[in-house]
Structure 1
Amino acid sequence: MAVTGDTVVWVGQDGPGRALHPEAEVVDLDGAFVAPAFVDAHVHATATGLHLSGLDLTGVRDAGGLLAAVRSAVRPGEVLIAHGWDETTWTSPRLPSRAELNEAAGGAAVYLSRVDVHSALASSALADAASGAEGWSQDGPLTREAHHHIRAAVRAGISAEQRRRAQDAFLTRAAERGIVSVHECAGPDISGEDDLAALLALAAEPGRPEVVAYWGERDALTLAERHGLRGLAGDFFVDGALGSRTAALHEPYTDQPGTTGSRYLDAEAIAEHLVTCTEAGLQAGFHVIGDAGVTEVVRGFQLAEKAVGQRALAARGHRLEHLEMVDADQAALLAGWGVAASMQPQFDALWGGTDGMYAARLGVRAAGLNPFSTLAAKGVVLAFGSDSPVTTLEPWAAVRAAVHHRTAGFGLSARAAFNAHTRGGHRAAGVNDGLTGSLVPGAPAHYAIWEAADLVIATPDSRVQRWSTDPRSRVPALPPLDPGAPLPTCLRTARAGRVLYDVLTPAA
């Protein structure tokens, strides 16, 4: 492959390539392989950066371990922000009481977000500020509006320098994982306008991954214009999350029969937002997980179609985030409206199967979640991501999870899964030129170089490994993706020919 400036200009055999480009700088891959770089279609940059540098609760296995972690990390005068606890993986599901958390915190303000970031444990120094709000609890996790209040208070306590360090850590980690573009899903209840503006300014510096920005709020056209946003989409909440039992269901939760979750938008509000964005030339989009939420979204699209017509609605490429409980009939309707599904395969790897969190929350209904193959078969554009910090910035792990879906028949081929994490992400952001996300002449030079164990490519002309998404190429579609197999290690990431991360070239 030859690159001139920001563009791939030639792809072919090694010998002719050297003859055609005799003055080129040659990078000897020494057995590594080149592939289109990844796109992460759903991230939260600042939260991820804070998680990378802060207290990690993903390894905690009971209430005592969580309290011990808080005691070891709390600092007088500082807000302790930690993330990742998941009681469904604990040896005992009992959560610590607020009194126990206050004792461990020593009076400090402590915010501990659940792995799905739709609920949190908080010490009284923070929790009391949300007293009386919907979702407030005297002793348990804070959800719904109470959680939004607490999260706003936490954001207010983060300094500009702390935020910059977090965002820098996030963008650096993305580049290290072969990611050249991320879709930041911001909003008034997620991160705030100042946070989004700071991230866009940082990403504009040379050598950074691209940030495609979304804002999850209605009636925010002025804000979208002010920041050059791709759309009023992303985490515009129709419902919540299954782990926190706030995703909207038709039937009650199996493990808490007194609730069917929460629905924040009805079909009329969804339709109004779709029409507004369609007429303004913006993408609209919604966070939707539960089956009742998906039903409401489909009704909203039907109402919007009556207002603007199917062709205009489909032309904007509106998007849905997560879309976990969707059936084949709904998928066919969504495809007709040109909808892109921004989905997270690692959700299934973490919580799917007959013994995971999905089964605990939903019983037999869990078998229908995250039907990647159904959506693809109906023509819905798939764009994979992490929802980081909910799951890690590990795109190869996401590709593997999509291939080895824990429900038989719902997985994808390795080639289709990889495409959903590369070309699909560009398409979901409105780039549908047929080139971007591929390594062909004329395409933007968005690529990554990978070292992979047990990768053997039978190419008689050269030891340089070549990679292709074309099944006619007669080279392997992907490195080994068997469960437990080592995943590829990134050696270089380049966006439009500019190197973002590199361990191939020795420092001068």
Structure 2
Amino acid sequence: MKKIFSILFGCSLAGLIALNSAQALPTLLHNVKGYTIKDGELESFDSILFENGVILDTGSHDELAKKSSFSIALDGKGKTLLPGLIDAHGHILGLGLNLMRVDLRGIDSEGEAVSKVKTYAINNDARWILGRGWNQVLWLNKEFPTKHSLDKAISDKPVWLRRIDGHAGWANSKALELAGITKDTPDPEGGKIIRDEHGNATGVLIDAAMSLVESKIPPINRKERKAALNLAFNHLIKLGITSVHDAGVDFETYKLMLELSAKDRIPLRVYSMLSGSDPRLEAMLKYGKVNQPFLKIQSVKLYTDGALGSRGAALLEPYSDEPDNKGLLLTDEKKLEQYFKLITKYGFQVNTHAIGDAANHLVLKQLAKLDKDVSAKKLRHRIEHAQVVVPEDIPMFAKLGVIASMQPTHATSDMNMAGDRLGEERLEGAYAWRTFLDNDVIIASGSDFPVEKANPFLGLHAAVTRQDSDNQPTDGWLPSQRLSVTEALKSFTIDAAYAGFWETKVGSLESGKKADFILVDKDIFTVPEEQIDDVQVLETWIDGKRVH
């Protein structure tokens, strides 16, 4: 029996951590409204006992006090305690860079976007003016911007601004000039240069065409890369995210992640997907799987198509609002088969970006060809986004064992244009979370930050209400696809952990698992559903230590 030394239940958590910052002693956190998903069901508790970063037990205060000894007792003061939330699809480096550059999310017009870019350029002595987040669908005319508005504000420096989904970019004339783009420049395979009635580039480039400009941007150096990662880590932790799936890391980021992990400099659990487009992919695969406490690498991210907002998602039938366009297939069937053969040879999971119904059908077709020992049921292959799927294809996810890695806020961001792009009939299989669950498909939820904000409570709110942050539309968009709060939480915890082969360590609060949890200011199971996106994270604990 370990000796109990006196720590009063009413002491502040901050004072306790100052007393013993390591939190290696048996610690009882009590007087909480605790929730976790266990065996698919919601369980509640008022106390959690942990030691050396591992959960010993959960239950009532009296039960735990009788059956277990502890050295530290912390009073949770009635706050709600949840498992640490897992974002199953984000871009850590992209988030960090976004925090360092011009953020154009939520801007209401092309003119307002240009004004913000101009202000940034005045205050930052950068060789290139870079940013992200514009979305023409939010603007009154809903039309793509042009180089001319940027040229009026900045003509002496190149400007490059990625669209919110990352599948289109907006350049000024200086950037187009450096890229060598003229009236005679052909559209690259898998990309499109938007042109005016005279055939001149307007300044917007779609998917593969973006590389014409981006290949001219000076690469970030190691110091900038490290700074961006650290910014992103801290941002995520403050939002209650204790584990994140990093959707596509290049070789330089891969090397830096390994270095940071070796020095214990990664403060939350990262499940990295290698970038399938990196020319050194096979070298990374040959290095083998990485399974460390805060870094796991055993998957690859591929792309098959673009995004719906920029009409780059590959559709079986033409866009309803652009009848001569079926989108862009970035990886054809033959190349996709070669990728799968290479990646599964090393026993890695394949996580394939597919937004349009043609892209999803193509990936499912390829997954169906795999031998049993490299199948989705064995290696847990995933389709990232799975936004627009022919309803008849949805049962194939469960049949093949494919995980649907989906982002709830995409639906509420896209609802103002998805009907225009797809028409009413195709919406039946669009953003269809309820249909996926009813067909026994595992959903791993995320945000796709920095495309969307990383706040997981925005995702929980969107999944449950099918509304945006203004709680619109009143009854929710395609409300039959709503999830319950329990189902949504499950997709952001244990099912997301399963999608990253970490379900035995994290994702639920059970004996033997890591003490990754958060304290929040509202009980998501009792507050009105429209208030879930207002939840504030008070504390984030990882490995039994308070990190925020």
Same fold (TM over 0.5): yes
Could you say which residue in structure 1 is the equivalent of 2:402?
A: 339
Partner Cα separation in structure 1 for residue 159 and residue 107 of structure 2: 16
1:240 to 292, 306, 317: 306
Contact residue 284 and residue 319 of structure 1 kept, 8 A: yes
Deviation digits for residues 2-44 of structure 1 (CA, Å, limit 9, x no counterpart): 0011211011111333344554222211121211111111111
Q: What does residue range 385-400 of structure 1 map to in structure 2 within 5 Å?
A: 385-400=446-461
Q: Does the residue aligned with 1:184 lie in a helix, a strand or coil?
A: strand
Partner Cα separation in structure 1 for residue 533 and residue 384 of structure 2: 29
Q: Which moved more, 1:200-209 or 1:210-219?
A: 200-209
1:427 aligns with 2:498: yes
Partner Cα separation in structure 2 for residue 329 and residue 7 of structure 1: 44
Q: Which moved more, 1:399-408 or 1:171-180?
A: 399-408
Q: Which moved more, 1:58-67 or 1:384-393?
A: 58-67
Q: CA 1:357–1:19 in 2, change beyond 3 Å: closer, same or farther?
A: same
Could you say which residue in structure 2 is the equivalent of 1:418?
A: 489
Could you say which residue in structure 2 is the equivalent of 1:212?
A: 271
1:291 aligns with 2:291: no
Partner Cα separation in structure 1 for residue 243 and residue 216 of structure 2: 30
Deviation at 1:100, TM superposition (A): 2.6
Q: CA 1:341–1:30 in 2, change beyond 3 Å: closer, same or farther?
A: same
Unmatched tracts of structure 1, length 5 or more: 456-476, 502-508
Partner Cα separation in structure 2 for residue 200 and residue 398 of structure 1: 30
Deviation digits for residues 175-213 of structure 1 (CA, Å, limit 9, x no counterpart): 1111111111125xxxx3213332443455356111111
Could you say which residue in structure 1 is the equivalent of 2:10?
A: none
Q: CA 1:130–1:145 in 2, change beyond 3 Å: closer, same or farther?
A: farther
Q: What is the TM-score normalised by the length of structure 1?
A: 0.85
Deviation digits for residues 86-123 of structure 1 (CA, Å, limit 9, x no counterpart): 11111233444313312312311211111111001012
Deviation at 1:152, TM superposition (A): 4.0
Q: What does residue range 87-486 of structure 1 map to in structure 2 within 5 Å?
A: 87-128=136-177, 129=179, 131=181, 132=185, 133-134=187-188, 135-137=192-194, 138-154=201-217, 156-187=218-249, 192-202=250-260, 205-206=264-265, 208-217=267-276, 220-226=281-287, 228=289, 230-234=297-301, 236-304=302-370, 308-309=371-372, 312-352=375-415, 356-364=416-424, 365-405=426-466, 406-433=477-504, 436-452=506-522, 455=523, 478-480=525-527, 482-484=529-531
Partner Cα separation in structure 1 for residue 158 and residue 253 of structure 2: 21
Q: What is the TM-score normalised by the length of structure 2?
A: 0.79
Q: Give, as a single letter, the amino acid of the residue that structure 2 aligns with 1:136.
A: I
Contact residue 344 and residue 374 of structure 2 kept, 8 A: no
Q: Does the residue aligned with 1:212 lie in a helix, a strand or coil?
A: strand
Q: Over aligned residues, Cα RMSD in angstroms?
A: 2.3
1:50 aligns with 2:97: yes
Deviation at 1:377, TM superposition (A): 2.0
Q: Does the residue aligned with 1:483 lie in a helix, a strand or coil?
A: helix
Could you say which residue in structure 1 is the equivalent of 2:83?
A: 36
Q: Does the residue aligned with 1:491 lie in a helix, a strand or coil?
A: strand
Deviation digits for residues 413-435 of structure 1 (CA, Å, limit 9, x no counterpart): 110110101111111112343x6
Partner Cα separation in structure 1 for residue 329 and residue 317 of structure 2: 13
Q: CA 1:207–1:311 in 2, change beyond 3 Å: closer, same or farther?
A: closer
Partner Cα separation in structure 2 for residue 95 and residue 294 of structure 1: 27
Deviation digits for residues 122-141 of structure 1 (CA, Å, limit 9, x no counterpart): 12333331623522341141
Give aligned pairs, total.
465
Which structure has more relative contact order (CA 8 Å, sep 6+)? It is: 1
Partner Cα separation in structure 1 for residue 494 and residue 93 of structure 2: 25
Q: Give, as a single letter, the amino acid of the residue that structure 1 aligns with 2:171.
A: A
Q: Give, as a single letter, the amino acid of the residue that structure 1 aligns with 2:458.
A: A
Contact residue 461 and residue 532 of structure 2 kept, 8 A: no
Partner Cα separation in structure 2 for residue 172 and residue 118 of structure 1: 26
Q: Does the residue aligned with 1:181 lie in a helix, a strand or coil?
A: strand
1:9 aligns with 2:56: yes
Q: Does the residue aligned with 2:338 lie in a helix, a strand or coil?
A: helix
Deviation at 1:391, TM superposition (A): 0.5
Q: Does the residue aligned with 2:317 lie in a helix, a strand or coil?
A: coil
Q: Does the residue aligned with 1:370 lie in a helix, a strand or coil?
A: coil
Q: Does the residue aligned with 1:449 lie in a helix, a strand or coil?
A: strand
Q: Does the residue aligned with 2:283 lie in a helix, a strand or coil?
A: helix
Partner Cα separation in structure 2 for residue 206 and residue 69 of structure 1: 34
Deviation at 1:328, TM superposition (A): 4.0
Partner Cα separation in structure 2 for residue 196 and residue 481 of structure 1: 42
Contact residue 481 and residue 487 of structure 1 kept, 8 A: no
- Give aligned-pair identity as a percent: 25
Partner Cα separation in structure 2 for residue 40 and residue 222 of structure 1: 27
Unmatched tracts of structure 2, length 5 or more: 1-47, 195-200, 291-296, 467-476
Q: CA 1:107–1:423 in 2, change beyond 3 Å: closer, same or farther?
A: same
